Structure 1
Amino acid sequence: MEGIYQHFRAEEHAFIDATLEWIVQVEDQYTPHLTDFMDPRQRYILETVVGGYEHVKVKFWGGVNHAERRRALIYPDYYEPTDADFNITLFDIRYPVKFTTLTHQKILGTMMSLGMKRDIFGDILTQAELWQFFVMAEMKDYVSLQLDKIGKVNVMLEEIPLIDSLPVHLDWEFTSTTITSLRLDLVVATAHNISRQKAKQLVQAKLVKVNWKTVENPDFECEEKDIISVRGFGRVKLGEINGHTKKDKIRIEIGHLK
């Protein structure tokens, strides 16, 4: 499996090492291994690595179909996993709707300020004034005890069945464009119709993430399928790279969330 590293960026090699350890553990002990919540890029890497092993499989589940963040169950090929194996809890956030407005940023920011790692939480769901989130069931008591305020507003968490989760909406609308290079600052500038200097400042201010990881280097090279999020501007996804124009510009598709 040494050759697997050449297919991924250098900063992803540590995660590949971790996946290899999990797989070896499953092979040696003949028991499943359940991970924390993963983003789509991590799932892609894990699925690729597991694909090199004949008797090991992996399944992902985030508490609801089409969840962006999901836990992975790595298991021997004789094992038949169920949704219950993923050990996921769904919390409904009860708060004074008339006196405050919740946002994804407020909720996640509060969780992080309490010292909770992002990978213990799954998707944060919303519909109108309703808010819910998934969490590892192993951590539900701790989260319920710690998370009693969001900002200055008192909240109460109520555990509800997964079947009562709000719908997940994640639709991309792609447009074609040309670009001189796949440098991060240039991609950000093109995607959000801002100056390259402004895009560079956003990157250097640690306000830009590629595949859910903060990137501070403006000349970071982007690739197909990268998810790029910019605080205050939203998220884009790079689609297919369709060759070069006669002036040697790169033809690429950029997707925005509807």
Structure 2
Amino acid sequence: MEIYQHFREEERPFIDQVLSLQDDVEMRYQRKETDFLDPREQHIFESLLRNQPNLTWSLFGGSVLTERKRAIVAPEYETITSEDFSICLLETHYHDKFIQLEHRDVLGAFMSLGIKREKLGDLIVQNGKIQIIVASEISDYIRMNFTAVKKANVQFAEKPFNHLMKSSEEWKTVDTTISSLRLDVVLKEIYGVSRKKASMFIEAGHVKVNFRTVEQPSYPLEEGDLLSLRGRGRSRLMEIYGTTRKDKFRVTLAKLN
């Protein structure tokens, strides 16, 4: 199909999933809801559904600022509101004077319960408080079984979304030019390492693009791609504006402080 040529080969299964969802809604005239989608999946979802006159759709993950969101697809005559999404906010407290917890600690504890990552939305850890946005269908299971993170005993309770904390994470952006959209070139620019070192990180499996490990330094990046380098945090290729007279790419890069 022509549609595949606009996306990456490894994204075909997700594209097929969205197309199947679209066909199902059109045939049955019943709305469908996805699991939580990462930003790249949201981009693909929007691209596929944008020009479908018989359908309406929406994305929501707890607030307009959340990164991970569920999607609802419905017949075009229906109205979708934020209350229609099967998500809930769970919150717990811990003694941050005695125990230091990070995002990865909580995520690791969550994943150890055997739950798919796709059932978890955004996760915030700050000021002795943990908030997780989860699919409503696993809320009871989480509250019964998610009782500890490292040495901290926790007990989650459901809260309304107006209690959702604003993440303290800050993205620092920079406008620059780069010679190529290869992964090793962009990694070099963002993290201030040599291109050789960037390639070593990639080949060692220390780099993820859109939450998937990529081991090819020549891997071509696209606008909106989310990167992570083990031990050095996350970054993003925010925008691509075209090329200069010397055929360099004008881009905006962002790094999470």
> TM-score if structure 1 supplies the norm length?
0.91
Aligned to 2:32: 33
Q: Which ranges in structure 1 are unaligned for 5 or more consecutive residues?
A: none
Aligned to 1:92: 91
Q: 2: distance between equivalents of 1:206 and 1:236?
A: 17
Deviation sequence 1:75-132 (CA, Å, 0-9, x none): 1111112222111111112223332011111111111222221110110124433221
After superposition, where does 1:180-195 map in structure 2 within 5 Å? 180-195=179-194
Aligned to 1:240: 240
Structure 1 segments, 4+ long, off by >6 Å, are none
Q: 2: distance between equivalents of 1:158 and 1:97?
A: 19
Letter in 2 for 1:196: R
Moved more, 207-216 or 56-65: 207-216
Q: Which ranges in structure 2 are unaligned for 5 or more consecutive residues?
A: none
Does the Cα contact within 8 Å between 1:67 and 1:168 map onto a contact in 2? no
Letter in 2 for 1:151: K
Matched, 1:163 2:142: no
Matched, 1:228 2:221: no
Q: 1: distance between equivalents of 2:114 and 2:166?
A: 28
Letter in 2 for 1:243: T
Aligned CA RMSD, in angstroms, stands at 1.9
Matched, 1:147 2:146: yes
Aligned to 2:52: 53
Does the Cα contact within 8 Å between 1:94 and 1:158 map onto a contact in 2? no
After superposition, where does 1:1-258 map in structure 2 within 5 Å? 2-168=1-167, 172-238=171-237, 239-246=239-246, 248-257=247-256
Letter in 2 for 1:82: T
| Deviation, structure 1 residue 12 | 0.8
Q: 2: distance between equivalents of 1:67 and 1:99?
A: 29
SS of alignment partner, residue 222 of structure 1: coil
Identity percentage of aligned residues: 39
| Deviation, structure 1 residue 207 | 2.3
Letter in 1 for 2:90: F
| Deviation, structure 1 residue 161 | 1.3
